[in-house]
Amino acid sequence: MASTGSITSAGLGSGIDIESLVTKLMAIESQPITTLQKRETSYQSKLSAYGVLKSSLSSFQTTADAIGTATKLASYTATLANTAAATATTSESARAGSYSLSVTNLAAAQKVRSAGYASQTATITSGTLALNLGTLSSDGTTFTPDSSKAVNIEISAAKGTNTLSGLRDAINASSAGVTATIVNDGGSSNAYHLMLTSKDTGTTNAFSVSGIDGLTYSPASTATGNQLTSVQQATDAKFSLDGINITSASNVVSTAIDGVTLTLTGTTTTATTLTVASDTAAIQKKVQAFVDGYNSMMSLMKSQTKTTSSTKLTSSTSTSSTSSDGPLAADSTVRTIQNQLRSLATSSVGSGSITRLADVGISIDSSGTMSLNSTKFQAALASSPSGVANLFTKTTSSNGIASQVSEKITAYLGTDGLLATRTDGIQKTITSMDKQIENLQNRMDTIETRYRKQFTAMDSMVASMNSTSSYLTTQFKSLLTSYA
């Protein structure tokens, strides 16, 4: 009998497509893995949907926080009768009021200039330039340097600072509190002047210059031998509010009136009126943001939990059977959040004429959409500003709706809140599924190896039998021929 030899390709000996057969058998064996993977994909979608929900809740909480306290809800405008004297802005801590403002002096930065030089590369005498910031007395006669603010600059060719432009750059690179520029006066000779200016206004930011011939200066009016020329003296702003005299090193003053920042721009000959009043349009804008945030959040939860008549619930975690269902179809946790926030939005707060959102023109229609009636809201603000504030904010006697919403969302988003508990459970399920899939995959590898070993053995046996059959057929034909 002839030898069959070794089989080098599955099915070569038998003619059977073993590769295709193994592939189809493994597809059947792998169905549990496919089922688990589909379930895991569903859970991953839920986890992702919860992430989007957390973000939406956080955004809504931001709008609630913006009106959760009386200070945050309140908005004010500040106007001046004489706009040439000053401008004003307000912050959350402002309060309504009227003030008489007089401005007698504006704050200014000290500024000095050098004599003219032939060019920007003109040579400066080598040595050490000393810049000293300090305080100029109110009458301008005395300058007191601050040793902690003294800066020394080496003037030398080696440092590249012994030219007009080199010195300018060295001063600007230092922490001297002084800015240096070069001004060209357009003259035919010695047209370039070094200009030194305090970075900040006020008499506490005056400065002296010494150490280099041609560049010495003291801001005191009693000083002698100044080689730099004064262009502008350091001065403080001086103004009064309702007869109270105030001095400031800066023209921008935020400490005179709580919540009001004044920017002085000119002096006055007669007092002007500064009026701080409630900005009802800005308050409505904040409340409208709360309304919009509520609608956005509710719309998201509605789409996430959308179900159809064919949706099947297998446990506390819903499993949707239709592609039109939301990723959190019929999820009880989201339903709980929806119901609790909707209940807060329709609840009653405190006592008096304004206790519900409807009392200030905020309503919720049959579809769950919240809307704000501007006319009714402005009327409520005009008749009872404190009542409107109490409806939204937290006070010593009651907790307003916006404040309650923020507190509720904080609980939802906390490490032991509803959402954390739910997402932790989903993540644990996904981790468990990953382990099951891994174990099943290892089992599939073993099964596939076994199938291939069995079919290879079968293939060899069939090949051997075919070879034997061929041999016997040949022998029988030979015998028949010899006896014919």
Q: Is pLDDT above 80 for 37?
A: no
Q: 273: which DSSP letter?
A: E
What confidence category does residue 318 fall into, taking pLDDT thresholds of 50, 70 and 90?
A: very low
Residue 478: count of CB within 10 angstroms of its CB: 10
Q: Is pLDDT above 70 for 484?
A: no
Q: Angle formed by the axes of helices 385-392 and 401-413, to 10°? A: 10
Q: Is pLDDT above 60 for 321?
A: no
Q: How confident is the model over 421-444, as pLDDT tens digits?
A: 888 888 888 888 888 877 888 887
Q: How confident is the model over 161-174, as pLDDT tens digits?
A: 999 999 999 999 99
Task: Determine the pLDDT at residue 355.
Answer: 95
Q: How confident is the model over 86-128, as pLDDT tens digits?
A: 999 999 889 999 999 999 999 999 999 999 999 999 999 999 9
Task: Determine the pLDDT at residue 16.
Answer: 67
Q: Is pLDDT above 80 for 26?
A: no
Put residue 370 in one of left, alpha, beta given phi > 0 → left and psi -120 to 50 → alpha: beta
Alpha-carbon distance of 221 to 110, in angstroms, equals 13
Q: Return the higher-pLDDT residue of 25 and 153.
A: 153
Ranges of each domain in the chain: 46-71+281-414, 76-107+238-278, 111-235
Q: 205: which DSSP letter?
A: G
What is the chain's mean pLDDT, rounded? 88
Alpha-carbon distance of 409 to 311, in angstroms, equals 29
CATH of 111-235, one of 2.160.20, 3.30.70, 3.40.50, 2.40.160: 3.30.70
Q: How far is CA 257 from the centre of its chain?
A: 31
Average pLDDT of the residues in 69-76:
92
Q: Based on the number of CB atoms within 10 Å of its own CB, is 481 exposed (0-12), middle (13-18) or buried (19 or more)? A: exposed
Q: How far is CA 304 from the centre of its chain?
A: 25
| Angle in degrees, CA 462, 467, 470, rounded to 5 | 125
Put residue 70 in one of left, alpha, beta given phi > 0 → left and psi -120 to 50 → alpha: alpha
The answer to whether 250 and 237 are in contact (CB under 8 A) is yes
Q: Is pLDDT above 80 for 459?
A: no
What confidence category does residue 10 fall into, taking pLDDT thresholds of 50, 70 and 90?
A: low
Q: How confident is the model over 372-419, as pLDDT tens digits?
A: 999 999 999 999 999 999 999 988 888 999 999 999 999 999 988 888
